[in-house]
Amino acid sequence: MFQSKIDTSPRRAVRGVAVRAALAARTPWSAGARRDSLFLAAGLPFGLPWLAVPGASGGVLLLWLLLAVVLLDLLTTAQRSRVRALRGAEVPGRVPPGAGWLVRLRAGMTWRQAVHHLVVAPVQALCAGLVLGLWGAAAVLLGFFGWVWLLPPGNSLRARPGWAVDGTVATLGGLLLLAVVPWLAALFAAVDLWTVRVLLGPNRAELLERRVEHLARSRVDVVDAADAERRRIERDLHDGAQQRLVSLAMNLGLARRTLKHLPAEAMEVIVAAHEEAQAAVKELHDLVRGLHPAVLEDRGLDAALSGIAARSPVPVHLTVDLPGRMAPTVEAVAYFTVSEALANAAKHSRASRIDLVLRRAADRLHITVTDDGVGGADADRGTGLTGLRKRAASVDGSFAVTSPRGGPTTITMELPCEL
């Protein structure tokens, strides 16, 4: 049996480097010790005034509390600025800027601010005072021999036997304080930063809510970008490739009509090329119209849907009650959703009539598509109805299908009028 030996020397070396780095960061002369002490010292003005409250009379105490309520926002802003400037950390607000008192109270902002400024800040001020006092004590103890030597030669302290031993003990005490205070300052600074984030910043639920709002805005931006890209492609195809194909078809048609003296084989080639060019023009026209119909952008949803209804193989009774234009992205989603719904009905429902109703109520667009077909449509079976649901969901809309066996089938959608 062979026992494999794992060389742990690299791991020990890494741990040794980490330990040495941590010790170096907590030396009295390190930047970390200065930064932590300065951070704590900057918090002193926020807590010192409230330390006098317990010994104040009733009227003075009431005055202090009223002043605290009035200055909550100012104190909170100052605390966030302290954290941002000295620790490089951003503490976002918990309520939107300019929110009213009712919104603030409902969000719990005022109560958490009061707890921090009236309870936590005084404790933090005591901790900061302790750290600063220990720094001062360490400096005094380390300078013991210097203070004694500055005294006149006949001073009783210098004349007292054993003062050198006392000075040695004081110096050792100062060295001990120098070793301990940086770690104590780091601990108090970490707790200070944590309390500011917890009590003056958003909690987890509020962070998740903001994340959801950000994702919703991002989704709208993506949908708008996709719609803008479709419009760009439609313009490029319409003004570029489609025009060239139309010109080619016209030239082939002109050659077909004028070049009568050509051999039959050559004329057959021209005729075939002319018909292919005409078919390509028609296919490209349908493709461009499917990307983003120009009538939708020029004349709005009513005119665009009238064109769809006129081209439908199943008679469509269209009712539109739209007082004005909506967001371009919403109009595009409504257009393509209705177009796909009519195509599905014509293909699968075996209906003889389709009723299409669009109306706007407040800030919502209501779309209803009803056919008298055989029914049995199910949006959960991966049919074309799934695409309709996804289109509606892309703009935070709703989608529902009612399709019993034997019909009728009713598709109901609601879309926001503005994004």
Q: Which residues of the chain are under the pLDDT cut of 50?
A: 1-4, 56-57
**Same-domain check for residues 34 and 76:** yes
**Residue 2: per-residue pLDDT:** 47
**Residue 330: per-residue pLDDT:** 85
Tell me the helix, strand and coil percentages in the chain, rounded to 5: 70, 10, 25
**Same-domain check for residues 128 and 172:** yes
**Same-domain check for residues 31 and 139:** yes
Element at 294 (helix H, strand E): helix 294-299
Element at 367 (helix H, strand E): strand 364-371
Range of the domain at 412: 298-416
**Residue 133: per-residue pLDDT:** 92
Sheet strand arrangement including 316-321: 316-321, 354-361, 364-371, 409-416, 398-402
Tokens 């049919």, residue?
A: 383
Helix boundaries (H) for 345-415:
384-393
Q: What is the spatial distance between Cα 359 and Cα 322, in angstroms, rounded to a whole number?
A: 6
Rg of the chain in Å (alpha carbons): 40
**Residue 72: per-residue pLDDT:** 76
Beta pairing partners, 410: 370, 402
Element at 402 (helix H, strand E): strand 398-402
DSSP codes of every residue in 329-346: HHHHHHHHHHHHHHHHII
Element at 358 (helix H, strand E): strand 354-361
- What are the tens digits of pLDDT across the range 65-82? 666 666 777 888 888 889
Please identify, among 234, 260, 291, the residue that sits at the C-terminal boundary of a domain: 291
Please identify, among 291, 318, 353, the residue that sits at the C-terminal boundary of a domain: 291
Contact between 340 and 383 (Cβ < 8 Å) = no
Please identify, among 178, 202, 226, the residue that sits at the C-terminal boundary of a domain: 202
Element at 359 (helix H, strand E): strand 354-361
